[in-house]
Each structure stands twice: as C-alpha cells, then as structure tokens.
Amino acid sequence: MNLERELGPLLKNGIKKDEPMSRHTSWRIGGPADYLVCPVDIEEIARVVRYSHLHGIPLLVCGNGSNLLVLDGGIRGLVMKIGSPFHYIRCEEGNRIRAGSGTPMPDLARAAVRKGLAGLEFAGGIPGTLGGALIMNAGAYGGNIGSLVQSVTVVDFQGRVLELARKEIEFGYRCSSLSSAGVVAEALLQLEKGDPARSEALLEHYLQERRRKHPQLPSCGSVFRNLPDQPAGRLIEAAGGKGLRVGGAQVSEQHANFIVNTGGATAKDVLALIRKVQQLVKKKFNIELHPEVKIVGVEN
C-alpha cells in the first residue's frame, strides 16, 4: 500500500508526507504526521474517509489546530485538515446561515452581525473553526454553538454524506455526539433578526474582554475544563499556579487556564506542566482538574 501513489492522484492537493504538525496547531507544537491531506470538497473528504476505512489507516481530522496538543513523536497514519475550501458563509431564508466547517468562528460571528442577525456575538473571540466548535460545543459568555444548530452535514466513517437534524445530535458541556458521527462538512444555524448596532457593540465588548484577559503568545485556548461552580483558571491562580513554567511552556500570567508557548516549547513540556498544575490544585483544594485540550499522537 502506497498512499502517495494510490490516494494522492485522487486529491487535487495531493498528499504531504512527514508534515510537521507544529505548522498546523495554534500552540505551534507537534511532531510530524505520517501523511497530511487537505481536501477541496466534500467528495474528497468522502474519498479519504473511505480509503482510510478500507485499509485500516488511523485518521485524525483537524481544522486550524486550536484545542489540540500533538505529541513530539507525531501522528501515525493520516491527518485530514479541513481548511479554506470549507471557509464559506451563505445566508438563507428564515434568518438562517449555512457555513462550511472550515470557517473561522470570528468570521462567522462578524458575518452574522453584518447581516443583522443576532445570536452569534459570543463566538467573536473563539479560536478555531466551525467544525471543531460544533464537535466540542464551543461557547462563551453564556452562549454555545449547539443551541443554534438546525442541521449538520457530515461524512460518516463509511464515506456516506448525511444530513443530521438537530434532534439527532446531542450537545453537552464542551462535547457533542458529532465526535462519533463522522467528519463535519457544514452546518445550518438558526439565528434571530437583531439590531445591527446593538449586536456590533456586544461583539466588540466580548472581543475587548478577550483581548484584555487572554494572552497573545501561542496557546490552545483553555487547557482545563471548568467545574460547574468554579472556573478552572480561578482555582489555578488561587493555588499559586500563575507563571509556573516547564521548559518553553508557561502558565499564562494573564489567564491561569492558558498555557503559552514562550518559544521552543515541546509537547513534553506542556504535558509536564499540565501534571504540575493538576497536582498543585489537588494539593490545595482536593479538586481534580481534567484537560479540555485534546492530546493526540505518540511520544518520542
């Protein structure tokens, strides 16, 4: 079996071999993927999924690599990156927006505001693309993407294109059943007619709050899941975790639930720092913190 010879000619962008995942994650960390493909349409997604399923090749799907820690040994198998061909936004009747899974959440929020539609303002500062946001039911400031979903188009793990209605999808806190449904291609969102001036002001307010609180160095966003009654960042700060460092990885001085890459950080550094933070909070409060970030790949 030779992916470059057999699958490569079937894809417009071909296949990249031994591609450093540090180029494809917001942390700028990660060893090489055996193979990386960037499909240009839903037919190519289906082609890749069917090929990987037929040959038993592990398949990892990613967007812009936020909320993802790729270990230093890289990823065995095939990585499929859902990128710019799936960055589109179309308005439909009934205050609805159809968007591709590669659409950055800030672009989606701004497009809704420009069209006079309300409900997505909370998403203006969320890192990542719509596909990842749907899978983890991303949210902020009391809103979440799952509450707006009318339907989601996926390619299941046999390569079939399916449209899932809202009632067929389960959304929870930072999770959804879409993670086991297949590869997300696009979604139809139900919004409300709004006041453009009010929506713009609300969006800018949320963006300013994020700029004030969130670090600018490379990170994955929030590392740990919040507790029902307590933000993880507050616990870490109260336990004395701000500024804690291992190698090039550091708990942000701005927001304690962020680990930043200060330069040259490795996944090994980040994992060690995650464990240190967990031990600190456990010792101080007898509370177990659980990572929200998805950890993939193999260690060196």
Q: Is 174 annotated as catalytic?
A: yes
Q: By the 8 A CB rule, do 176 and 170 touch? A: yes
Across-strand partners of 190? 96
Candidates 19, 44, 186, 292; catalytic one = 292
Using the CB atoms, write b or e for 275-284: b if 16+ within 10 Å.
Answer: ebbbebbeee
Tell me which of 52, 66, 199, 222 is the catalytic residue.
222
User: Distance from CA of residue 139 to its chain's centroid?
Assistant: 12
CA distance 45 to 51: 10
Query: Is 222 in the active site?
Result: yes
What is the CB neighbour count within 10 angstroms for residue 78? 23
Catalytic residue among 50, 174, 225, 245: 174
176 counts as catalytic? no
Query: What single string gives the DSSP state of each residue in 137-203?
Result: T-EETTEEGGGGEEEEEEE-TTS-EEEEEGGG--EETTEEGGGGT-EEEEEEEE-EE--HHHHHHHH
Dig out the tokens for 105 from the structure.
Answer: 């959440």
List active site positions. 174, 222, 292
